[in-house]
Structure 1
Amino acid sequence: MKRIERLLGLMKQSDVKNLLLTDPADIFYLTGFTGSTAYLFVSPEKTVFFTDGRYAEQIKTEISRDIKAVIVKTYGTSLSELARQTGKLTVSPKCPLNLYSMMDESAEEMLIDGKDLVSLMRSVKEPQEIELISRSFQAAGESFRESLSQWRYGMTETEWAAVLEYNMRKRGAKDRSFETIIASGERSALPHGTADTRVINSGDPVTVDYGCRFHYCSDITRVVYDGSDPFVFEIIDIVKGAMDAAKAVIRPGIRCADVDKAARDYIEKKGYREYFNHGLGHGVGINVHEAPSFNFRDETVLVQGMVLTVEPGIYLPGRFGVRLEDTMAVSENSCENLTAVLEDYVYKILQR
C-alpha cells in the first residue's frame, strides 16, 4: 500500500482525481499481483482491484486486505459500470483502445494520465528492487558461463539460444527478458538479429544479447569470438571505449541525452558515427524496456536508483557488427555496474 499512497500523492500534485491502471507490470508494481489479467482503480476514496475467477484464490495471498477485490464475470461490463459511476475517469496511457472505447460510451468524460505517473515511479528503483534485478543478473551471468562449455561450432544460432535459455530456466528464471539475440558472422551487423537457422562457424564474431526475468529483468550483451582478425578487435575496442565514455559521466544530475552524446561522440571521433544507428540504452526493471532512455531526445535528469543499459554498437553491413552492453544503477555520486558478474566482454567457447 505504500506505493499506492505515493501514487495518490503524485495524483494530487498533478490534479488527477482518479486513475484506472491496465498494464500488468504497473499493477504488479503497486499490488504484487502476478497474474496476467487485472485492472486497478485508484482514488483518494477507494482502491479497487478487478480480476476474474481464475485468480480468486491467488489474490488471497497477493492482494492487501486494504484493497477492495472484485471478481468479475465480464471485464467490459464491470469497467463500463465503473466509468458510469465515476463520471470523469482518468486512464493510464497504456489502456488498450478497445477498452477505452467501451468505457468512453459510459463515462461523462474520459481523461488520460499524460505524465504516466506509475512509469515515473517505476523509473526510480527502491533498494530491494535493485537487489531483485541483481539476482536476475547473477543467474544470467552464471548461465552464460555454463553455456560457453556447451556451445559448439556447427550448431545453429537457435541451438545456442536454446542452450542459454535452458540454463537460465534451470536457475529458476520465470522467463527470458526478451527474444534471445544470437547473431553470428554477417548477421551480427543486424542490431536486433534474433537467433536464426544460420550455422555458427569458428572465426565468426557472435553477438549474444540476452536476459532473464525473476519478476525483474536482466539485459546483457557480450561477444563470442575465437578469430584473429585485427579489424574485429579494433571495432571491439572502439565500442568498449564508447561504453566506458558513457559510464564515466553517469551520475545524479546528468541528463540522459548527455550520456548518449558521450558514447556517440567517441564513436564519431573514431570515424564510425553512421554505423551506430540506435539509442545508447533504456531503463530496466519489471519490464526490460522502461523509462527513461539514453538517447538524444530524452531530457530526463538522472537520480539515484535509476537503472539503465549502456549498449553502444557498430554495425558494418555485409561484414559483421559489435555491440557490448552493461546495465548501470545510478548511485549517490556515480553508478554501479550490475553486469559485473561477467567482467570480460569477449569470450571463447570452451570446447571439450
Structure 2
Amino acid sequence: MNYILKDENAVYYECGFSCDNEIFLKLEDAAYFLTDARYITEAKEYIKNAEVVEMDRRDPMKVARTLLRKSKIATLIYNPYEWSVGEFERLSSKLNINFSQKVNFSQQKRIIKSDHELDILRVAARKGADAFDAFAAFVRERGIGLNEKRLFNEAENIFKNYGELELSFSPIVALGANAAKPHALPSDDVLRESELLLLDAGVKYQRYCSDRTRTAEVSHNMVFEKNMKFKDALRQKVYDTVLKAHDASIKKAKAGVRASEIDRAGREVIEKAGFGQYFIHSTGHGVGLDIHELPVIGARSQDIIEENMVFTIEPGIYLPGEFGVRIEDTVIARETDVEIIS
C-alpha cells in the first residue's frame, strides 16, 4: 500500500519520530521522512525504517512531489482530515496519480495494540492513577476555598508531575453544577465542603495516553474511588446508576462483541433508572498515541472488539443546573473479558 501521512502520531507510529513540520511517504518498498533543517539532526538520530530527506520549510510539498513523480506509482492513499485544502491542492496538482481518500487509515492500522504498546499503556495508566491520588491529597489539604481555575492549574501541575510528564488532554475539574457539562471549562466557582467534584484527566508516557474519570464528594478524607458515598440522596442515586452502568458495560466487553452492544449494556441501565435523556455522549473511545482513537464505543458504531484493543468505558449522567457524574476506566480487551488498567 502506498500512502502519505502528515499527522504527528501517525508518523511516529511508522518510524519512531515526528515533529510539527513533516511528511511521511511510503512508496512501494521505500519510506521517506521529510522535514526541514530544524529537525534533520534529531530525525537522523531517531528515525527507523525510513530515509530522512530535508525539505524546504517555505515549500514543503516540493520534495514530496519530486519523490512522487519519480516513484511512478498509480495510487496514493491519504487521510483527508490531515490536510488543508491548500496543502492538498499544492501536493496533488498535475501529478498523474490517483489520490485515494481513506479516512483514519492510520488509526485503523494501530487499533490492535502490540504487547509492547500494552506495557507502555499500563505504565501510563498507573502514573495517571497516582496523579489522581496526589490531586485528592491536594484537595484534602489545601483545596477547600479555591476556585475551579486555581484547581485546574494545580491539576495540570500535578498530572505533569511538575515537568516530568505531558498531559493526554487538559484536565476537566468541575464542581457542582459545572459537572453537568461533560467538557466543563474552569470557572470562578469556589470549592466548598461536601461539594461534588468531577475530575477527568490523563498523562502521556512514551507518547501513549492514559484516561480516567472519577466523581467524589469533597471532604477532609476524600479519595477518588469507585464505591462512593454521598450525603444527598439524588446524588447517591445518580452515582449508583452510573456505576451500575459502568459495570454492565465492563461485563459485556470482550473480544467478538460489537462495540454498540457495550454501549447498549450501560445505556439500558441508565434508561431504566429514568435518566436516559441525561446520558448525552457515547460510552467510550479507543486510547493509544491519540487520546481518541478507534474503536468507537457508541450506539451507531460498526466496530467489533478484538483482543488487545484498548478503549474507555465512561457512562455519565448530567443534570443541567444541578450536577453531573461520570465514571471512566480504560480497559484492554481479552478473549473472555477485559483488563482494567486505570
TM over 0.5: yes
Q: 1:95 to 1:108 in 2, by over 3 A?
A: farther
SS state of the match for residue 150, structure 1?
Answer: helix
Q: Which amino acid aligns with 1:223?
A: T
Q: Does 1:129 align with 2:117?
A: yes
SS state of the match for residue 252, structure 2?
Answer: coil
Q: Does 1:219 align with 2:211?
A: yes
Q: Which amino acid aligns with 2:47?
A: I
Q: Tell me the residue number matched to 1:298.
A: 301
Q: Quote how far apart the aligned CAs of 1:221 are.
A: 0.4
Contact 2:92-2:99 at 8 Å conserved across structures:
no
Equivalent residue pairs, number: 322
Q: Which amino acid aligns with 1:287?
A: D
SS state of the match for residue 94, structure 1?
Answer: helix
Q: Tell me the residue number matched to 1:81.
A: 66
Q: Distance in 2 between matches of 1:182 and 1:134?
A: 24
Aligned pairs (5 A) from 1:50-129: 50-64=34-48, 66-73=49-56, 74-86=59-71, 88=74, 89-97=76-84, 98-114=86-102, 116-129=104-117
Contact 2:128-2:203 at 8 Å conserved across structures:
yes
Contact 2:243-2:327 at 8 Å conserved across structures:
yes
Q: Distance in 2 between matches of 1:202 and 1:101?
A: 57
Q: Distance in 1 between matches of 2:69 and 2:94?
A: 5
Q: Which amino acid aligns with 1:28?
A: Y
Q: Deviations over 1:85-134 (max 9, x none)?
A: 45643323333122211112132244234264321121111111111111
Aligned pairs (5 A) from 1:255-270: 255-270=258-273
Q: Distance in 2 between matches of 1:276 and 1:100?
A: 39
SS state of the match for residue 327, structure 1?
Answer: strand
219-228 vs 307-316, which moves further: 219-228
Task: Choose the corresponding residue for 1:33, options 17, 30, 33.
Answer: 17
Q: Deviations over 1:52-110 (max 9, x none)?
A: 1111211222112x421101123122223334445643323333122211112132244
Q: Tell me the residue number matched to 1:343.
A: none
Q: Tell me the residue number matched to 1:182.
A: 173
Q: Distance in 1 between matches of 2:266 and 2:136?
A: 29
Q: Distance in 1 between matches of 2:327 and 2:51?
A: 46
Q: Distance in 2 between matches of 1:205 and 1:177?
A: 24
Contact 1:173-1:213 at 8 Å conserved across structures:
no
Task: Choose the corresponding residue for 2:137, options 139, 149, 159.
Answer: 149
Q: Which amino acid aligns with 2:128?
A: A
SS state of the match for residue 303, structure 2?
Answer: coil
Q: Tell me the residue number matched to 2:32.
A: 48
Contact 1:311-1:323 at 8 Å conserved across structures:
yes
37-46 vs 109-118, which moves further: 109-118
Contact 2:179-2:197 at 8 Å conserved across structures:
yes
Q: Distance in 2 between matches of 1:138 and 1:338?
A: 7
SS state of the match for residue 324, structure 2?
Answer: strand
Q: Tell me the residue number matched to 2:245.
A: 242
Q: Tell me the residue number matched to 2:227.
A: none
Q: Quote how far apart the aligned CAs of 1:161 are.
A: 2.0
- Deviation beyond 4 Å, 4+ runs, structure 1: none
Q: 1:130 to 1:172 in 2, by over 3 A?
A: farther
Q: Which amino acid aligns with 1:164?
A: A
Q: Distance in 2 between matches of 1:173 and 1:283?
A: 25
Q: Which amino acid aligns with 1:124?
A: I
What 5-or-longer segments of structure 2 have no aligned partner? Answer: 219-229
Q: Tell me the residue number matched to 2:5.
A: 21
173-182 vs 246-255, which moves further: 173-182
- CA RMSD after TM alignment: 1.7
Contact 2:77-2:102 at 8 Å conserved across structures:
no
Q: Quote how far apart the aligned CAs of 1:268 are.
A: 0.7
Task: Choose the corresponding residue for 1:208, options 178, 199, 202.
Answer: 199
Q: Quote how far apart the aligned CAs of 1:239 are.
A: 0.1
Q: Tell me the residue number matched to 1:282.
A: 285
Q: Tell me the residue number matched to 1:3.
A: none
Q: Which amino acid aligns with 1:79?
A: A
Q: Distance in 2 between matches of 1:100 and 1:174?
A: 34
Contact 1:19-1:92 at 8 Å conserved across structures:
no
Percentage of matched positions with identical amino acids? 28
SS state of the match for residue 170, structure 1?
Answer: coil
Q: Distance in 1 between matches of 2:246 and 2:40?
A: 48
Q: Deviations over 1:20-65 (max 9, x none)?
A: 111111110111104222211112231111011111211222112x
Q: Distance in 1 between matches of 2:300 and 2:68?
A: 35
Q: Tell me the residue number matched to 2:222.
A: none
Contact 1:207-1:222 at 8 Å conserved across structures:
yes
